[in-house]
Amino acid sequence: MSADTLVPYTPRVALDRLRQGDVGAWPVVGGLVVIAIVFSTLNDRFLSPENLTNLALQMAATGTISLGIIMVLLLGEIDLSAGSVSGLCAAVMTILHVKQAWPPVLAIGAGLLAGAAVGLLHGLMLTRLRMPSFVVTLAGFIGWLGLLLFLLRDGGTINLPFSGFVSGLSDTWLPGWLAWAIVLALVAGTAGAGLAVRRARASAGLPVSPVWWAPARAAGLAVVLGAAVVVMSADRGVPLLLVIFGVLVVGFDLVLRHTAFGRHLYAVGGNAEAARRAGIGVNRIRILAFTLGGTLVAAGGILAASRLSAVNQQSGGSDILLMAIAAAVIGGTSLFGGRGRAYAALLGVLVIQSITNGMFLLSVDSSVRLMVTAAVLALAVAIDSLARKGATR
């Protein structure tokens, strides 16, 4: 169960958790500040509106795939097939839309259903056949890649219509009034939800946060979102692709923190045997997590296809899987299960893409970029391990 269910998150609680070794997202936030300072010093284009808008576009697809991986990591499991599945589902969508003339919305729905079916199959193999997730998803990595190559064997590439609905997802920019309306709605919703939760906890006799805490959090959110809108409006505007990713992050964070499924997911990842003795259907939770994870991975593949306006034999390949897993771990999701938030995908992929983008601007060789990313990932895992040791002590 998430700690937020029992104790409201306040500055005092945050300080107590830091003393216990739970550093949360602070190392990631600090890392982002350092990255911004270093790359903006070396190249003044790094913090330009144009570059930051491109950065927002680049992180959406990988971040969505990372969301799917987080669903599995919270169980203490692993998914090595995410890259292949994202490419396969994007191919299914593209073939149905371009070759079979399906309406784009139905084709996208079919691609998402394909991802859900793959996740369901992996979950059943894990729970019914007692196969390790490493083996299940490693087989999936190879098998789904083979199916992708089979589907694209004629020509190897299928282009999406440049002016079509799917390609338009990555080439649509919100007008200024709509971007600010979304910011105001999010800030008001955050403040209102915080106050409503406080009243509900007070009525139930549970500990509550100070009255000023919810408005303060909403004000902080307003500053961050407002700054993002101002910067991106100086270029082309807020991209729709970023809004879609943001909606997925917020939606699944609410699912994880405020539903029975989310609490059970944390419980199973923290201690499966204790969860089973508490009456939680451990196998059911695992199957649901893999199914939802597969759906999110498929969504990431579709967003990637939208940005490229095509699907080819390299879709879902290269370093996408590794970057998605690294983003989840760097963002604070524990490899040992039971700890992490959906916002880890946002923070982690922002770190990964910032490093990649900054080194690209400096014309640094890709070999150096990979080594730097590996060092950041190793540091994130080391911090997680040390935090767990500190919490145990």
For residue 238, what are the domain limits? Answer: 3-392
User: Residue 288 — very low, low, confident or very high, per pLDDT cuts 50/70/90?
Assistant: very high
User: Residue 97 — very low, low, confident or very high, per pLDDT cuts 50/70/90?
Assistant: very high
Report the number of distinct structural domains present in the chain. 1
Q: Which amino acid belongs to residue 55?
A: L
Q: Report the pLDDT value the prediction gives residue 2, as an integer from 0 to 100.
A: 42
Q: Report the pLDDT value the prediction gives residue 105, as an integer from 0 to 100.
A: 94
The residue among 223 and 204 whose pLDDT is bigger is 223
Please check the confidence at residue 297 and state whether its pLDDT lies above 80.
Answer: yes
DSSP classification of residue 161: P
Please check the confidence at residue 5 and state whether its pLDDT lies above 50.
Answer: no
CATH number for the domain that contains residue 109: 1.10.3470
Please check the confidence at residue 220 and state whether its pLDDT lies above 80.
Answer: yes
pTM: 0.89
Q: How far apart are CA 132 and CA 141, in angstroms?
A: 14
Q: Report the pLDDT value the prediction gives residue 7, as an integer from 0 to 100.
A: 52
Please check the confidence at residue 371 and state whether its pLDDT lies above 90.
Answer: no
Q: Report the pLDDT value the prediction gives residue 84, as an integer from 0 to 100.
A: 94
Q: What is the mean pLDDT of residues 144-149?
A: 93
239-271 pLDDT, tens per residue?
Answer: 999 999 989 998 898 888 888 999 999 999 989
305-336 pLDDT, tens per residue?
Answer: 998 889 988 888 877 888 898 888 888 888 88
Q: Report the pLDDT value the prediction gives residue 1, as an integer from 0 to 100.
A: 43
Q: How far apart are CA 244 and CA 64, in angstroms?
A: 9
Alpha helices in the chain (DSSP H): 11-19, 26-42, 49-73, 82-94, 104-127, 133-151, 165-168, 176-203, 213-233, 240-258, 260-270, 272-277, 282-308, 320-330, 343-361, 366-392
Angle at 280 between CA 22 and CA 287, to 5 degrees: 90
Q: How far apart are CA 7 and CA 199, in angstroms?
A: 14
Q: Report the pLDDT value the prediction gives residue 4, as an integer from 0 to 100.
A: 45
Residue 231 exposure: Cα atoms within 13 Å on the Cβ side: 17
Q: Report the pLDDT value the prediction gives residue 384, as an integer from 0 to 100.
A: 64
Q: Which residue do the tokens 């997911």 mark?
A: 265
Percent of the chain with pLDDT over 90: 37
Please check the confidence at residue 193 and state whether its pLDDT lies above 90.
Answer: no
115-128 pLDDT, tens per residue?
Answer: 999 999 999 999 99
CA-based radius of gyration for the chain: 21
The average confidence (pLDDT) of the chain is 85
Q: How far apart are CA 224 and CA 240, in angstroms?
A: 18
55-89 pLDDT, tens per residue?
Answer: 888 889 999 999 999 999 999 999 999 999 999 99
Residue/partner pairs of 24-33 with CB below 8 Å, 24 or more apart = 24/332, 25/331, 25/332, 25/341, 25/343, 25/344, 25/347, 27/380, 27/383, 28/330, 28/331, 28/332, 28/347, 28/348, 28/351, 28/380, 29/347, 31/351, 31/376, 32/347, 32/350, 32/351, 32/354
Distance of CA 156 to the CA centre of its chain: 29
The residue among 282 and 380 whose pLDDT is bigger is 282
